[in-house]
Amino acid sequence: MSIALSDTRKFTISRTGLEVHDHLSFEEWSSLAPLLNEAARGVAFVIGDWLLYGLDRFAQSEKGDPRHATSRVRSEDYEAAIHLTGLDRATLQTYAHVSRKVSSSLRNKDLSWEHHKIVAKLPPVDQQYWLKLAAHQLADGQPVSTRRLRRSISSGRLLDTEEVSLPENDKGIENHIPFVNRLVAWWSRMREKGWTNEATSEQRAALKRDLEPIVRIYNEL
């Protein structure tokens, strides 16, 4: 059961909490839960998308031309949003950045905004891969924490929980494992897309030439 608009007179929601003005039935009280959950989980994307629309639609460049979608905006263009939302510039910039980089078609409602923030630095094809992988793990009852996702992306493969609990490798020591893992993950994605079945003989030959340095390293061992 969802709460009708008139029922909202029974309570108000503010930055300091929920205030109930009249008795709620059990159905009314329980139906608030999914609404609150959706609001909490989606607010960062909602604000980010709202901000981008305003920046792209209404913000003016120094020449007075309407601003079109860009990867960056001038800091002064945030002033109106800061005034309207009461949020600080850094928070708004982060929300806008993630909304800009992770398109709505790639977002997964079952994952947190923080998961999307982690993959925002990746190309869309890699965003899709990691978000889909995390969603599948969640569906299987094995949720991927943001820390695990971040370290898995750095390693090029999904780390198990035991590996994540280990301290990270000394940054000052060259380690080949992350590079190998990324190459293996890349090849796995290529196979999933059907490249091995669709590639021409010329494409296969070109890829083999590109991989020859790895074969040489292997033969030198």
pLDDT at 77 over 80: no
Contact present, 54 and 81 (Cβ < 8 Å): yes
**pLDDT-above-90 percentage for the chain:** 25
For the segment 179-183, the average pLDDT, to the nearest whole number, is 77
With a CB cutoff of 8 Å and minimum separation 6, the contacts of 155 are 177, 178, 181, 182
C-alpha–C-alpha distance, residues 23 and 157, integer Å: 52
115 neighbors 149 (Cβ within 8 angstroms): yes
Amino acid identity, position 120: A
Q: Are 135 and 162 in contact (CB under 8 A)?
A: no
Helix axes 124-139, 177-192, angle to 10 degrees: 90
CA distances from 9 to 25, 88, 141, 192, 197 (A): 14, 30, 39, 52, 61
Per-residue confidence band for 117, with pLDDT thresholds at 50, 70 and 90: very high
The answer to whether 93 and 82 are in contact (CB under 8 A) is no
For 122-138, the pLDDT digits (tens) are 999 999 999 999 999 99
Chain segment 10-23, per-residue pLDDT in tens:
877 766 677 888 88
Per-residue confidence band for 108, with pLDDT thresholds at 50, 70 and 90: very high
| Res 40 pLDDT > 80 | no
Mean pLDDT calculated for residue range 98-106: 93
- What are φ and ψ of residue 96, in 5° steps? -65, -40
CA distance 142 to 161: 10
* Measured distance CA(72)–CA(47) in Å, rounded: 17
Using 50, 70 and 90 to split pLDDT, how confident is the model at 33? confident
Band (pLDDT 50/70/90 cuts) for residue 95 is very high
